[in-house]
Structure 1
Amino acid sequence: MSTKLDRARLESLAEELMEKQFQRVPKMRELHAGEWIERDYFVRHLVETVLRIRLNNEVDTYALFKVGSKDDSLAAKLAKYLAEEFGHEGMFTRDLEKFGFTAEQLEATDVFPSTKKLMGYLRLEADSRGPAPTTVWDWFVEWYSDRYNQVITDKVAAEFGKDFVRGSQKHLDFDESHDHDELMFRTVSQAVEVFGNTDQAYADLTAFIDLIGDYFGELYEATAVKTELASV
């Protein structure tokens, strides 16, 4: 069983799986193509982004713990990524404040069920498979961001003004300057080679993107669909 990830195959699979979600989830394709945005939808998306970053940092920290002393080079890569990501939710809370969403409202908001499932998956799988599943997820987050987040941010800026996405843009600029996509591919490649295999990695990616589709479905049902019905 292979333990060597093929980057082209991983990216191709991510594209194929995202296309399936675009076909099943309302407005998801238009959002990611920069063709549609809605205020309440985007604000709630920012909220989930902040809350997910916090949870993601916790599961990444746990994954680093599970590396232990088994692979110092891998631990260093994951620690570097963690060090560069801690505190980044503050960039998005700045945009939330611009939209009028308060810190008190943020703390009172619960994450969607799909996010709970995702974080539970990462936490539980780390016990049996170490950091490999978490690094697959982190790689996808960076791949997704490189591919779609600038498009979405530009659409929001066009609709509401650049001042409403200064934090989001700052985060994008940071990731690009620190080459996080490349860092996480090196990290996931090493994690899969040491702690797993490619079949498991592709299965993890499939599960994660299914949950991302579930999330965008929940987001639409909670916000945009209500706005559309109210306007009828």
Structure 2
Amino acid sequence: MNRVSHCGIERPAPFYSLADGAKVRERLDRYLDQKMAEWAATVPYANHLESKDLNSRWYRRHTIEHVWRIRLSRSAHCKALHAITKISPEAAQLYAEYQAEEMNHDTLFMQDCKALGVTQEELLRTEPFLATRLLQGFFYFLCEHESPIGVVASSYLVEYTTAKLTPRQISALKESVGTDKIKGQLAHINTDVGDDHAGEMWRILRYLIHSEEDVEKVLRYFDDIQTILAMYFRELYEATVADKAAA
């Protein structure tokens, strides 16, 4: 009797064929399109990055938070990778390659922080928002008690919406902030879109989806992640725009 398990030795084949998988991905994308519409209608300053009258306090704090979110997510995503290795070596390899590209992108947003006049001292004394910390905690919870498919679903949501929304945001930021102050973001979006990170996340999901029920789980994880991200944008708004107006 071999007592060793949970090591990916079964190497399960994708549940869906390439053709059927493409239909599932279309379903996920339609759902995310709907969620983006809800986001625009319910979240304060949801599309503010596209504004010609950009709130400088809001944008400065938002850029700082990008640095913290990437820094904190490094450990959380490594835990997800550890969990994925026990399920699918193929998915783990793809996810490791993705994280190798993303892991040090905090330096890109630090570059933009510096262009905005944010010092290293200011960045270090700025505590991440509660939503940012909760997001990382949620990732740990998924890996311990549910499934790393939720973490990958989060990455798919981010990469899909990035490909959809960021080109418009970058175009607006060039006008409102100036190209010299968004060089880090330009490098980041060139990697995300140019390397088709959304497509990479789908290929990983395809290895982790083992039933139709798993597709439903991905959709529910989309809801969970958007709830936490909406909480972040409300915190950001209240700490910068609403707080200043009250003062």
TM-score (norm 2): 0.84
Question: Shift in Å at residue 33 of structure 1?
Answer: 4.7
Amino acid at match of 1:204: Y
1:143 correspondence with 2:128? no
Does the 8 A contact of 2:80 with 2:143 survive in 1? yes
Question: Is it true that 1:18 corresponds to 2:65 in the alignment?
Answer: no
Aligned to 1:112: 129
Question: What is the alpha-carbon distance in structure 2 between the residues aligned to residue 172 and residue 97 of structure 1?
Answer: 19
Q: Structure 1: how far apart are the matches of 2:151 and 2:134?
A: 13
Say whether the 8 Å CA contact 1:22–1:28 is kept in structure 2: yes
Listed as ranges, the gaps of 5+ residues in structure 2 are: 1-14
Per the alignment, residue 88 of structure 2 pairs with: 71
Aligned to 1:51: 68
Partner of 2:236: 219
Distance 1:14 1:51 in 2: 25
Identical aligned residues as a percent? 24
After superposition, the Cα gap between the structure-2 partners of 1:160 and 1:70, relative to the gap in structure 1 and judged at 3 Å, is closer
Contiguous gaps of at least 5 residues in structure 1: none
Question: Cα 1:13–1:112, aligned 2, differ >3 Å: closer, same or farther?
Answer: same
The answer to whether the 8 A contact 1:137-1:205 is kept is yes
Q: State the AA in 2 paired with 1:73.
A: E
Give the aligned partner of residue 123 of structure 1: 140
Code of the aligned partner of 2:227: D
Distance in 2 of aligned mates of 1:145 and 1:192: 23
Q: In structure 1, what is the Cα distance between the partners aligned to 2:128 and 2:161?
A: 20
Deviations 1:195-219 (A, max 9, x none): x711111111001111111111111
CA drift at 1:116: 1.9
Tell me which amino acid in the other structure corresponds to 1:104.
Answer: E
Give 2:57's aligned residue: 40
- Report deviation, 1:189: 2.4
Distance 2:231 2:37 in 1: 14
For residues 21 and 179 of structure 1, the distance between their equivalents in structure 2, rounded to whole angstroms, comes to 23
Partners of 2:109 and 2:185 within 8 A in 1? yes
Residue 27 of structure 1 pairs with residue 41 of structure 2: no
Aligned to 1:183: 200
CA distance in 2 between counterparts of 1:155 and 1:162 reads 10
Match of 1:155 in 2: 172
SS of corresponding position for 2:209: helix
CA distance in 1, matches of 2:204, 2:53: 34
Q: Which amino acid aligns with 2:209?
A: V
Moved more, 94-103 or 51-60: 51-60
Structure with higher Rg: it is 2
Q: Indicate if the aligned counterparts of 1:10 and 1:202 stay in contact, CA closer than 8 A.
A: yes
**Alpha-carbon offset, residue 16 of structure 1:** 1.5
